[in-house]
Amino acid sequence: MSAYRSDLGLKVTDATGNGVEVDVATGLLNGTVRLSVLWTQEIYLHPDDAERVAQSLLRAAEHGRHIAEASKPEPDQTTSPSD
């Protein structure tokens, strides 16, 4: 099962006008970041759109770190330090 949350604010399409889109999403279970190019295997971006994709990836990475940190098991508090 996968559960990803896409960056809904990212609206980037191919510079050639063929309708290809980019999707950046964060895995809600483990914090992984997914970069998808929809409808093809490559995309050509205008420089401003490339920067927007990069910013979206940075936001997803930060969100993913928070998810991964929250899913780490708590340290075992039952053991006492040895003297």
Give per-residue pLDDT as tens, 63-80: 999 999 998 877 776 655
State residue 83's pLDDT score.
Answer: 52
pLDDT band with cut points at 50, 70 and 90 for residue 82: low
pLDDT over 70 percentage in the chain: 88
Whole-structure pTM over 0.85, yes or no? no
Angle (CA) 4 2 40, round 5°: 70
**Mean pLDDT, rounded, of the chain:** 89
Once rounded to an integer, what is the mean pLDDT over residues 3-13? 94
